[in-house]
Structure 1
Amino acid sequence: MARVITFADAVNEAIRLAMRENENVILMGEDVAGGAKVDHLQDEEAWGGVMGVTKGLVQEFGRERILDTPIAEAGYIGASVTAAATGLRPIAELMFNDFIGSCLDEVMNQGAKLRYMFGGKARVPLTIRTMHGAGFRAAAQHSQSLYGLFTSIPGVKVVVPSTPADCKGLLLQSILHDDDPVVFFEDKTLYTMKGNVPEGIYTIPFGKADVKRKGSDLTIVAIGKMVHTALKAADQLSKKGIETEVIDPRTLSPLDEDTILSSVEKTGRLIIVDEANPRCSAATDLSALVADKGFDYLDAPIKMVTAPHTPVPFSPALEDLYLPTPEKVIEKAMELLGEEINV
């Protein structure tokens, strides 16, 4: 049975269920318990992370499995790689994906390479949860979307969910069943989003895109919260008689190429919507894929709607201008279809 819960509650529920299911699952990170055992705070007052997403877990699972760490990303990400390689199934919370520079060696050169370097005899079942995304008024160092960086690293899997139900199913798949490092991107602006989420344990396989809306005139592939931007644009385009297919890859590595290519074969037109910077990005990777394997399907050039190649602005007005919008998507669609723009 499904209930309506928030994206943040879906994350919390997935972690809770996984920890009940497998005693080798642990959680570590900065303030993931938060405040417990500080002189003036008791466990029941622990706030559960900077966004409260892990609230209540320390009360159920205790301090041996819910581990607050120092502000030392290289230290605890490195420790989580070692823990994974020696039999545990750790979840490491990297508070913001912007901090990955502090621990890139541990992810890129250690965790990602161990299975390969040990001839398949080593496993690193590590889930790194991290927040990303602009629109939160958090400025340039706390607002980036760096999933494209991780997608370029062999040995790392990359998950970018857009709905509470997808988030829970994909996170359970990562924690309980995947034996490689997974970087799990949670858009902080989606934490309050509500949606129908099934009860209990269920999983969504990696490498399986979801067609969020069917259409025959235009394909939009959108990443993370840009799925909702694309769906809003599709609703407006439908009023103009243009039926748009919206595809959510859900995982960028592995990538469901077949679903994307089949859609482009049907529609002949493609727009990619991504809030990350455009250079060497997931959007350009998807563009290259379709240009290489689906060129004969195309009736028009591939278009991208992305952020500009600049840091994320702190000014609210500039940040709103920075992000892709339904209006920007509609404008590109009109260009592709050779029709007058009347948003």
Structure 2
Amino acid sequence: MTQSSEVLYKKRLENIVEKTIEVIESSKQQIFEILEKAKDEARKLEAQLEELKVQVINVIKEVEMCEKKEKKCRLKLALVSKQFGHLSEQAIKEAYEEAKEAQIELALKRREEKELIERRNELERKLLDTKAIIEKAEKLSSQINIALNYLNGDLKAMNLQLEQLKDKQALSVKIIEAQEEERKRIAREIHDGPAQAMANVLLKSELCEKLITKDVEQARLELKNLKEIVQQSLKEVRKIIYDLRPSALDDLGLVPALSRYIKNFEEETGIHVDFTVLSDYQRLSPEIEVTCFRVVQEALTNIKKHSRAKTASIKFEFGMKFVSIIIKDDGIGFDKEKIGQGYGLMGMRERVEILNGKFEISSFKGKGTQIYISIPVRGVEDDSVASG
């Protein structure tokens, strides 16, 4: 590969990652705008609520005064009734009118008190809902920052790898093509998943703002839907991050990481996978562990998408000079002529061959598929390994 071709591939790969980052940055900005609108709304609601609380306190005092006045007028009216024959018609009329006015005034004040309390309660509910939106937006923003940091860091690591592989031109082509396809997949997943969900969050939050003053029940329903969208978006972001680099692979090693991945695969697909380690497990170099993990991951993805299998098996054997993997399924299989076709199988083969390993696949229609992989532990396959 010429230097100009290498620069071209590198530039194309960087563009893929940069576009992915742009999508996330745009979504992050939308979430930030939602967050700021919600905070402004919360501040307005808090100010209105404080003002309304003062009004409620004042009207309660006024109601108490009206109640005392109305009670006083009733006592006076009772006294007038007892002295009915000794008072003038004008005095009796004035006593009745005064009592009536006191009752009307008290009824109006009580009605005003009730309306103010209802408004206060409504504002308190609205404030709680707005604060819930703020909390969810802040959590989602934090998750997006994690994804951005990872991608930015991954881009730097990728550039460093490419610089180190300048002398391995044939392998560089395969690595660049594989990573370019991976970045496209990530961009599609983010665009079709979290990015779309974030746009939906923005629309839902605007709808909630409009409904809160008109239809509280509908607003609550929309907020519930908004919560589900945010939860699903977080789940998708976490999955994308996990697919980029499972933390368990670095922290625990290959076998524990695969055990966790296979368990999740079984729960998601309903396909039973028998995972067996035939020898004592030993930690391998990072590049070998990553290759083994990705090959198994791609094989299970193919089983899920194409095989219609009900069960599968994965067997590992860790030797002094090699690690071998056998992956089988009881699916529908495919024609021999199609073996090796499709990016999934080619990507698996290339990963193994980069480490001087062997990759063999056999499949027959109606009889499932078997993949055999052997990778030298030291990265160089000698005669004894080849014969094994």
Normalising TM by the smaller chain, what interval?
under 0.3
The structure with the largest alpha-carbon Rg is: 2
TM-score (norm 2): 0.24
TM-score (norm 1): 0.27
Higher relative contact order (CA 8 A, sep 6+): 1
- Greater strand share, 1 or 2? 1
